[in-house]
């Protein structure tokens, strides 16, 4: 009728050994969870078998028993559902049946010895389940914190890399601007030197052309002297001396 083999629906199966190992890894969290889990069944048992018979004039104590049974039974059902392997319907029936018989004997059995056995089992199951649940939640919180820290670290690293890239680009731009300025200055200096050298070259070319046309070095020298005021004055003075 029911599939008793492990299926995809029972992939959250948790063994008792796994629960004990998880609690051993985080003893503080596991022990605190065990204390919280074991308190409801223990208090329910004491209220039902010792406190209520001693105080029959307080009928409201039964509501405390019902509240303790509600807390304890839900934890028992959850634990049994996770411990039992098989199909979903099979696990649900197993969890409900075990919860009813265990919690019923613990709270309503007239034989106190049988109730003591039930309460011991209920306390152990509640303590183990609650301790394991708190440990798993603690692991999830640690993983979330680690993920947050890693994300913050990555964001900071990206910001640092971006700032370094911007600084490198700025330095490259400054270096390129300085290099272009030096090249422009060098080109202007070369143009100025070239412009100053062109007249002298032109004068030399004129003198050579006149020398080639006349073939007389004396005439060329006189022509060169006439091109400047000082040379003209010198020629005039020599001519006056020769005439005298």
Is 117 inside any structural domain? yes
In a domain, 218, yes or no: no
Averaged over 136-163, what is the pLDDT?
A: 78
195 lies in a domain? no
Indicate whether 186 belongs to any domain: no
- Domain membership of residue 169 (yes or no) is no
DSSP letters, 153-200, are: HHHHHHHHHHHHHHHHHHHHHHHHHHHHHHHHHHHHHHHHHHHHHHHH
Return d(Cα 75, Cα 89) in angstroms, integer.
18
Residue 171: CB atoms within 10 A of its CB come to: 10
State how many domains the chain has. 1
Whether the predicted pLDDT of 7 surpasses 80: no
| Per-residue pLDDT, 68 | 92
Whether the Cβ atoms of residue 47 and residue 61 lie closer than 8 Å to each other: yes
Its pTM surpasses 0.75: no
Tell me if 168 is assigned to some domain. Answer: no
- Residue 229: per-residue pLDDT: 62
The domain of 21 spans 8-154
42-94 confidence digits (pLDDT tens): 999 999 999 999 998 888 898 999 999 999 999 999 888 887 877 888 889 99
Any idea what the Cα angle at residue 237 is, between residues 219 and 212, rounded to 5°?
10
Mean pLDDT of the chain, nearest integer: 78
In a domain, 200, yes or no: no
Residue the block writes with tokens 């890693």:
150
Is 28 part of any domain?
yes
CA neighbours closer than 13 Å in the CB half-sphere of residue 166: 6
Say if residues 231 and 203 touch (Cβ distance below 8 Å): no
């Amino acid at each position: 009728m029911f599939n008793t083999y492990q299926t995809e629906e029972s992939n959250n199966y948790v063994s008792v050994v796994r629960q004990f190992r998880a609690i051993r890894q985080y003893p503080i969290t596991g022990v605190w969870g065990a204390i919280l889990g074991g308190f409801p069944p223990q208090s329910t048992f004491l209220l039902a078998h010792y406190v209520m018979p001693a105080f029959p004039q307080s009928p409201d104590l039964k509501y405390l028993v019902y509240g303790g049974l509600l807390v304890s039974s839900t934890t028992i059902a959850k634990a049994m559902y996770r411990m039992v392997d098989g199909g979903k319907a099979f696990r649900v029936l197993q969890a409900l049946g075990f919860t009813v018989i265990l919690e019923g004997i613990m709270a309503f059995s007239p034989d106190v010895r049988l109730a003591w056995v039930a309460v011991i089992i209920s306390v152990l199951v509640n303590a183990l389940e609650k301790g394991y649940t708190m440990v798993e939640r603690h692991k999830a919180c640690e993983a979330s914190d680690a993920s947050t820290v890693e994300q913050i670290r990555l964001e900071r690293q990206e910001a640092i890399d971006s700032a370094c890239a911007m600084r490198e680009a700025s330095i490259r731009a400054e270096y390129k601007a300085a290099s272009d300025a030096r090249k422009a200055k060098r080109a202007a200096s070369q143009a100025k030197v070239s412009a100053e050298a062109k007249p002298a070259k032109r004068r030399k070319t004129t003198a050579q052309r006149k020398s080639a046309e006349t073939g007389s070095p004396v005439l060329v020298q006189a022509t060169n002297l006439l091109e400047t005021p000082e040379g003209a004055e010198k020629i005039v003075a020599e001519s006056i001396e020769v005439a005298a």
